[in-house]
A and B are shown apart, each in its own frame.
Chain A
Amino acid sequence: MAEGTHENVVCTFCGCLCDDLKLEVKDNKITDNENGCAISKAKFLHHAEDRLEGPSIRSNGTSTKVSLKDAVTRAVDLIANSKRLLVYGLSSTENDAHREAYKIAEEAGGVVDNTSSVCHGPTILGAQESGEVVAALAEVRHRSDLVIYWGSNPQFAHPRHMNLHTKAAGEWIKDPKTERKIWVVDIRKTISAGVADKYIQIEPGTDLEVISAMRALARGKILDIDKVGGQSVKDLKELVEAMKAAKYGVLFFGLGLTQSKGRHRNIDAAIRLVQDLNHHTKWSMMPMRGHYNVAGANKTSTWQTGYPYAVDYSRGYPRYQPGEFTAVDMLARGEADVLLNIAADPAAHFPRDALKHMGNIPIINLDPKQNMTSLLAEVNIPTAIAGIECDGAATRMDGLPLYLKKVVEPPEDFLPDRDILKMIYEGLRRVKK
């Protein structure tokens, strides 16, 4: 690849997909990442470290290096002989790899789920119940005069979100310090709460009650109680009146809403609150997507299977059922008998019962780096890092697709996820003929 400066590179860490990175490449190594946040710098400057050394197969606890062909053959053998394959991950790779993963799930009659089942899956369930009121990030910067982060800590999880989109000046918000207010609603005073104009602390697990009370107040109802979720009704009424008085409001929400008590009901209620506010003024909302292409995984899954996640092909046609065909449930029930994991680390992020079953079944793991899942996997196949060592496409948190550039060559024989998955799919087709 070209040595020197690469401009307008898309960052592949979080759902912001910041597209203004300026990278310096020397001797096929990234030596500088200008504009990137602390996490982006860690990702790009350390991309060559801690890599999986090469394709390997583990037998009796000992991992042995093998050729890519042998690793793919073993993966095909495991999948072809599985009764309940679970294909999982996909949110940290590009869209073309997703296509091949769905084809494998269909061919094997397995289940395919992506990491949204443990992040914004409830957001999708809420939207399926009540619709979507979406905005583009550019719209937020140009128009919004009131921004709320609910159950989200962008300063840590999306480090440039505030600076680029909600603290930045826009076409009609020339001075964001005076013309735009930022509120944070959370159960603990996070670093983001510290830099907001207002911090609204609610009691843990009361999001649904608080949002429902705000909906009632927005509709002019009188509540015969004094407090909801630790907030006085008087204060909540003031918040609602300020929200109604905004010219353009945006509600960003994080896993504080989707992972806590109420789950999709919290989102359902939040969507309906935003709908209620739209009787008075303009409001939009947006999930703070974590992994850089988890929004893309939902889109590609919908394009190809008809459903955004939790898709089962055991009957030869796609069926959708979160809670049944979602990865944590499949593993905790002891149902999956082979796991094909792509660009995710379920061993680091799944609760203990689900993790325990991962120790009982063969895992085929595709990832550029060593991780906790690679420690358990029977077959490890190292891959090129999308957006650094191979190109592709990914989807930003507001749904905007962006092109990921290749800026350095991958280590020798490290192929993109899409190529390896294609080899597995073709091998599976040959075996099943």
Chain B
Amino acid sequence: MSAVGVKAVVTSGRTLKQGRGMEIGKLSSEYFEEVSVCEMDQVTFDALGIEAGDSVRVETIHGSVIVTSRLDRRAEPGVVFIPCGPYANAITGSDTEGTGMPDYKSIEAQIFPAKGEKVLSVKELLSKMVEGS
């Protein structure tokens, strides 16, 4: 497990495929494949020494999650994107600052290479988060 990471701000949101996957079914492979990814720029890939498709570990003060890396050619260093869903939630805090709204956008994180590490399925991730491990 690499101890050297890249600092970035994680943001989340809807994608077309996430929306499609959600409507096909939350337990479908389409949904899993779209929400368990982290979209990053080429510079971040180079800094981490990994290729698109390798696993990365995204860590925030709220938690960490293993996701599959994906190249976003429009992206710039410093901001990475995880489609909204359980994998983004795994690193999101529940403090709403008295508004009801958690901080789903702009979460400070570190990205670590995690080549070969398994991305948990939606069911496995749910069990892990509910059990609190």
Partners in one complex: yes
Given contacts A259-B104, A351-B92, contact A49 B25 (CB under 8 A): yes
CB of B97 within 8 Å of the partner chain: yes
A122 to B81, CA, bound (A): 22
Q: Please tell me which one of the listed residues B21, B25, B75, B102 contacts residue A118 in the complex, with CB atoms under 8 A apart.
A: B102
Decide: B86 and A189 in contact? CB cutoff 8 A: no
| A contact residues around B94 at 8 Å (CB) | 328-329, 331-332, 350-354
Least CB distance, A88 to chain B, in whole angstroms: 12
CB of A250 within 8 Å of the partner chain: no
Given contacts A122-B101, A323-B98, A351-B92, contact A153 B126 (CB under 8 A): no
Decide: A264 and B99 in contact? CB cutoff 8 A: yes
Closest to A40 in B: B23
| B contact residues around A134 at 8 Å (CB) | none
A117 to B98, CA, bound (A): 11
Most-contacted residue by chain A among B62, B86, B105 (CB, 10 A): B105
Q: Please report the total number of B residues contacting A with Cβ < 8 Å.
A: 50
Q: Please report the total number of A residues contacting B with Cβ < 8 Å.
A: 67
Decide: A187 and B92 in contact? CB cutoff 8 A: no
Q: Please tell me which one of the listed residues A39, A350, A356 contacts residue B132 in the complex, with CB atoms under 8 A apart.
A: A356
Decide: B24 and A372 in contact? CB cutoff 8 A: no
Least CB distance, A17 to chain B, in whole angstroms: 15
| A contact residues around B62 at 8 Å (CB) | 351-352
Closest to A254 in B: B13
Contact flags B115-129 to A (C-beta < 8 A → 1, else 0): 000000011001001
Given contacts A46-B24, A355-B130, contact A259 B105 (CB under 8 A): yes
Q: Please tell me which one of the listed residues A188, A205, A345 contacts residue B76 in the complex, with CB atoms under 8 A apart.
A: A188
Contact flags A184-202 to B (C-beta < 8 A → 1, else 0): 0001111101100000000
Decide: B105 and A376 in contact? CB cutoff 8 A: no
| B contact residues around A46 at 8 Å (CB) | 23-25
| A contact residues around B74 at 8 Å (CB) | 188-191, 193-194
Least CB distance, A242 to chain B, in whole angstroms: 24
Closest to B79 in A: A188
Decide: A38 and B16 in contact? CB cutoff 8 A: yes
Contact flags B6-41 to A (C-beta < 8 A → 1, else 0): 000101011110011101111110000000000000
| A contact residues around B84 at 8 Å (CB) | 349
* 9 nearest A-B residue pairs (beta carbon): A326-B100, A50-B25, A359-B130, A323-B98, A353-B94, A332-B94, A117-B100, A351-B92, A39-B19
**Residue ranges of A at the interface with B (Cβ–Cβ < 8 Å):** 13, 38-39, 42-43, 46, 49-50, 113, 117-118, 121-122, 125, 153, 155-157, 159, 187-191, 193-194, 204-205, 255-256, 258-261, 263-264, 290, 309-310, 322-324, 326-329, 331-332, 345, 347-356, 358-359, 369-372, 375-376
**Residue ranges of B at the interface with A (Cβ–Cβ < 8 Å):** 9, 11, 13-16, 19-21, 23-28, 62-63, 74-76, 79, 81, 84-86, 89-106, 122-123, 126, 129-132
Q: Show 17 A/B contacts (Cβ-Cβ < 8 Å), sorted by A.
A: A39-B19, A121-B101, A204-B106, A260-B105, A263-B97, A310-B100, A322-B98, A323-B98, A326-B101, A329-B100, A347-B126, A349-B85, A350-B102, A353-B94, A354-B94, A355-B130, A371-B26
